[in-house]
Amino acid sequence: MPVTVRRFVVFLLAMLPLIYLLQAVIRVQQGEWNLLGPEPGRAIVFFTGTWAFNLMLATLAVSPTAKHTGWRWLLLHRRMLGLFTFFYASLHLLAYSALLLEWRWMEITQEIIERPYLTLGMLAWLILLPLALTSTKGWQRRLKRRWKSLHKWSYPAAAFMAVHYLLQIRSSWFEPVLYTILVLALLGLRRWPLLQPSKEKFSG
Protein backbone atom coordinates (compact mmCIF):
# COMPACT_ATOMS: atom_id res chain seq x y z
CA MET A 1 0.00 0.00 0.00
CA PRO A 2 1.47 3.43 -0.90
CA VAL A 3 2.58 5.52 2.05
CA THR A 4 0.08 8.35 1.35
CA VAL A 5 -2.82 5.86 1.45
CA ARG A 6 -1.48 4.39 4.70
CA ARG A 7 -1.14 7.89 6.16
CA PHE A 8 -4.75 8.61 5.20
CA VAL A 9 -5.94 5.35 6.82
CA VAL A 10 -4.09 6.16 10.06
CA PHE A 11 -5.52 9.70 10.00
CA LEU A 12 -9.05 8.39 9.46
CA LEU A 13 -8.74 5.76 12.22
CA ALA A 14 -7.44 8.37 14.67
CA MET A 15 -10.32 10.71 13.74
CA LEU A 16 -13.01 8.06 14.39
CA PRO A 17 -13.32 8.70 18.16
CA LEU A 18 -13.77 12.44 17.50
CA ILE A 19 -16.39 11.76 14.80
CA TYR A 20 -18.20 9.40 17.19
CA LEU A 21 -18.10 12.02 19.96
CA LEU A 22 -19.36 14.83 17.71
CA GLN A 23 -22.32 12.81 16.45
CA ALA A 24 -23.17 11.82 20.05
CA VAL A 25 -23.06 15.49 21.16
CA ILE A 26 -25.31 16.49 18.23
CA ARG A 27 -27.79 13.74 19.10
CA VAL A 28 -27.82 14.86 22.75
CA GLN A 29 -28.54 18.43 21.58
CA GLN A 30 -31.36 17.07 19.46
CA GLY A 31 -33.07 15.51 22.44
CA GLU A 32 -31.49 12.09 23.04
CA TRP A 33 -30.66 13.27 26.55
CA ASN A 34 -29.44 9.98 27.96
CA LEU A 35 -27.01 9.10 25.19
CA LEU A 36 -23.95 10.31 27.12
CA GLY A 37 -25.34 9.39 30.53
CA PRO A 38 -26.54 11.67 33.33
CA GLU A 39 -23.39 13.85 33.19
CA PRO A 40 -22.52 14.45 29.51
CA GLY A 41 -19.68 16.85 30.41
CA ARG A 42 -17.97 14.24 32.56
CA ALA A 43 -18.57 11.57 29.88
CA ILE A 44 -16.76 13.78 27.34
CA VAL A 45 -13.85 14.25 29.77
CA PHE A 46 -13.63 10.45 30.26
CA PHE A 47 -13.90 9.72 26.55
CA THR A 48 -11.22 12.20 25.43
CA GLY A 49 -8.90 11.15 28.29
CA THR A 50 -9.27 7.48 27.40
CA TRP A 51 -8.52 8.17 23.72
CA ALA A 52 -5.52 10.35 24.54
CA PHE A 53 -4.18 7.40 26.54
CA ASN A 54 -5.03 4.82 23.83
CA LEU A 55 -3.14 6.85 21.24
CA MET A 56 -0.20 7.29 23.61
CA LEU A 57 -0.01 3.49 23.97
CA ALA A 58 -0.24 3.10 20.18
CA THR A 59 2.57 5.65 19.71
CA LEU A 60 4.77 3.87 22.26
CA ALA A 61 4.03 0.51 20.63
CA VAL A 62 5.28 1.60 17.19
CA SER A 63 9.01 1.33 17.78
CA PRO A 64 9.05 -2.08 19.61
CA THR A 65 6.62 -3.53 17.04
CA ALA A 66 8.77 -2.25 14.15
CA LYS A 67 11.86 -3.68 15.84
CA HIS A 68 10.39 -7.10 16.59
CA THR A 69 8.65 -7.60 13.26
CA GLY A 70 11.07 -5.75 11.00
CA TRP A 71 8.17 -3.60 9.71
CA ARG A 72 10.12 -0.36 9.54
CA TRP A 73 7.30 1.33 7.60
CA LEU A 74 5.39 1.57 10.89
CA LEU A 75 7.87 4.22 12.03
CA LEU A 76 6.54 6.58 9.34
CA HIS A 77 3.23 6.78 11.18
CA ARG A 78 4.52 7.39 14.69
CA ARG A 79 4.49 11.20 14.37
CA MET A 80 0.82 11.30 13.41
CA LEU A 81 -0.13 9.03 16.32
CA GLY A 82 1.87 11.24 18.68
CA LEU A 83 0.16 14.37 17.37
CA PHE A 84 -3.25 12.77 17.82
CA THR A 85 -2.29 11.87 21.41
CA PHE A 86 -1.65 15.56 22.02
CA PHE A 87 -4.85 16.50 20.17
CA TYR A 88 -7.09 14.27 22.32
CA ALA A 89 -5.21 15.27 25.51
CA SER A 90 -5.86 18.93 24.62
CA LEU A 91 -9.56 18.22 23.99
CA HIS A 92 -9.61 16.47 27.38
CA LEU A 93 -8.08 19.51 29.11
CA LEU A 94 -10.46 21.80 27.21
CA ALA A 95 -13.50 19.66 28.16
CA TYR A 96 -12.41 19.71 31.82
CA SER A 97 -11.93 23.50 31.82
CA ALA A 98 -15.07 24.33 29.82
CA LEU A 99 -17.60 21.66 30.79
CA LEU A 100 -16.66 20.77 34.36
CA LEU A 101 -15.30 24.07 35.66
CA GLU A 102 -16.88 26.50 33.14
CA TRP A 103 -13.66 28.49 32.66
CA ARG A 104 -13.38 29.49 36.34
CA TRP A 105 -9.64 30.06 36.05
CA MET A 106 -8.91 30.46 39.75
CA GLU A 107 -10.67 27.19 40.53
CA ILE A 108 -8.99 25.39 37.63
CA THR A 109 -5.54 26.55 38.81
CA GLN A 110 -6.31 25.72 42.42
CA GLU A 111 -7.60 22.22 41.55
CA ILE A 112 -4.55 21.47 39.39
CA ILE A 113 -2.23 22.54 42.23
CA GLU A 114 -4.12 20.81 45.04
CA ARG A 115 -5.22 17.52 43.47
CA PRO A 116 -2.24 15.27 42.73
CA TYR A 117 -4.03 13.37 39.92
CA LEU A 118 -4.68 16.67 38.13
CA THR A 119 -1.13 17.91 38.75
CA LEU A 120 0.19 14.75 37.09
CA GLY A 121 -2.27 15.01 34.18
CA MET A 122 -1.18 18.62 33.67
CA LEU A 123 2.50 17.65 33.82
CA ALA A 124 1.87 14.98 31.18
CA TRP A 125 0.14 17.56 28.95
CA LEU A 126 2.94 20.10 29.50
CA ILE A 127 5.46 17.49 28.37
CA LEU A 128 3.40 16.63 25.28
CA LEU A 129 3.19 20.31 24.26
CA PRO A 130 6.88 20.84 23.27
CA LEU A 131 6.97 17.33 21.79
CA ALA A 132 4.07 18.22 19.48
CA LEU A 133 5.56 21.62 18.62
CA THR A 134 8.95 20.12 17.71
CA SER A 135 7.61 17.10 15.86
CA THR A 136 8.35 18.55 12.40
CA LYS A 137 11.29 17.61 10.15
CA GLY A 138 12.58 21.21 10.48
CA TRP A 139 12.85 20.94 14.29
CA GLN A 140 14.36 17.47 13.95
CA ARG A 141 17.14 18.99 11.79
CA ARG A 142 17.57 22.04 14.03
CA LEU A 143 17.82 20.08 17.29
CA LYS A 144 19.86 17.18 15.85
CA ARG A 145 20.76 14.72 18.64
CA ARG A 146 18.93 16.80 21.24
CA TRP A 147 15.66 16.03 19.39
CA LYS A 148 15.90 12.36 20.37
CA SER A 149 16.60 13.20 24.02
CA LEU A 150 13.71 15.68 24.03
CA HIS A 151 11.33 13.11 22.60
CA LYS A 152 12.35 10.57 25.25
CA TRP A 153 10.33 12.76 27.60
CA SER A 154 7.33 10.89 26.22
CA TYR A 155 8.32 8.08 28.66
CA PRO A 156 7.80 10.11 31.87
CA ALA A 157 4.69 11.60 30.23
CA ALA A 158 3.27 8.07 29.81
CA ALA A 159 4.16 7.25 33.43
CA PHE A 160 2.38 10.44 34.63
CA MET A 161 -0.68 9.48 32.58
CA ALA A 162 -0.73 6.06 34.23
CA VAL A 163 -0.55 7.54 37.75
CA HIS A 164 -3.15 10.19 36.76
CA TYR A 165 -5.48 7.28 35.92
CA LEU A 166 -4.50 5.09 38.91
CA LEU A 167 -5.19 7.91 41.38
CA GLN A 168 -8.78 8.05 40.13
CA ILE A 169 -9.58 4.46 41.10
CA ARG A 170 -12.88 4.37 42.92
CA SER A 171 -14.80 1.21 42.13
CA SER A 172 -13.31 -0.34 39.00
CA TRP A 173 -9.56 -0.82 39.18
CA PHE A 174 -9.31 -3.06 36.09
CA GLU A 175 -8.80 -0.42 33.37
CA PRO A 176 -6.34 1.86 35.22
CA VAL A 177 -4.28 -1.20 36.23
CA LEU A 178 -4.38 -2.62 32.67
CA TYR A 179 -3.22 0.72 31.20
CA THR A 180 -0.44 0.90 33.80
CA ILE A 181 0.73 -2.63 32.97
CA LEU A 182 0.77 -1.73 29.26
CA VAL A 183 2.81 1.44 29.94
CA LEU A 184 5.27 -0.55 32.07
CA ALA A 185 5.53 -3.24 29.38
CA LEU A 186 6.10 -0.73 26.58
CA LEU A 187 8.70 1.20 28.57
CA GLY A 188 10.26 -2.08 29.78
CA LEU A 189 10.70 -3.29 26.19
CA ARG A 190 13.00 -0.33 25.64
CA ARG A 191 15.12 -1.09 28.72
CA TRP A 192 15.35 -4.86 28.95
CA PRO A 193 18.22 -6.13 26.78
CA LEU A 194 16.78 -9.68 26.52
CA LEU A 195 13.75 -8.27 24.77
CA GLN A 196 15.78 -6.34 22.21
CA PRO A 197 15.68 -7.95 18.76
CA SER A 198 18.77 -8.60 16.71
CA LYS A 199 19.97 -5.70 14.52
CA GLU A 200 19.60 -7.79 11.29
CA LYS A 201 15.88 -8.28 11.94
CA PHE A 202 15.29 -4.54 12.44
CA SER A 203 17.16 -3.54 9.34
CA GLY A 204 15.22 -6.13 7.35
Interacting residue ranges for ligand HEM, rule: CB under 6 A:
42, 45-46, 49-50, 52-53, 56, 89, 92-93, 96, 112, 118, 121-122, 124-125, 128, 161, 164-165, 168
Which C-beta is closer to ligand HEM: that of 76 or that of 101? 101
Q: Would you mind telling me the total number of residues written for the chain in this entry?
A: 204
Query: Shortest Cβ distance from residue 25 to ligand HEM (Å)?
Result: 17
Q: How many CB atoms lie within 10 A of CB 168?
A: 14
Which C-beta is closer to ligand HEM: that of 50 or that of 65? 50
Task: Identify how many contiguous H helices and E strands the chain contains and give both numbers.
Answer: 10, 0
Query: Shortest Cβ distance from residue 169 to ligand HEM (Å)?
Result: 9
Query: Shortest Cβ distance from residue 103 to ligand HEM (Å)?
Result: 13
Query: Shortest Cβ distance from residue 124 to ligand HEM (Å)?
Result: 4
Cα dihedral 178→77→87→112 (10° resolution) = 50
Which C-beta is closer to ligand HEM: that of 79 or that of 92? 92
Query: Shortest Cβ distance from residue 177 to ligand HEM (Å)?
Result: 12
Decide if 62 contacts 78 (C-beta within 8 A): yes
Q: How far apart are CA 149 and CA 29, in angstroms?
A: 46
Among left, alpha and beta (phi > 0; psi -120 to 50; other), residue 136 is: beta
Which C-beta is closer to ligand HEM: that of 81 or that of 122? 122
Which C-beta is closer to ligand HEM: that of 42 or that of 190? 42
Q: What is the DSSP letter of 76?
A: G
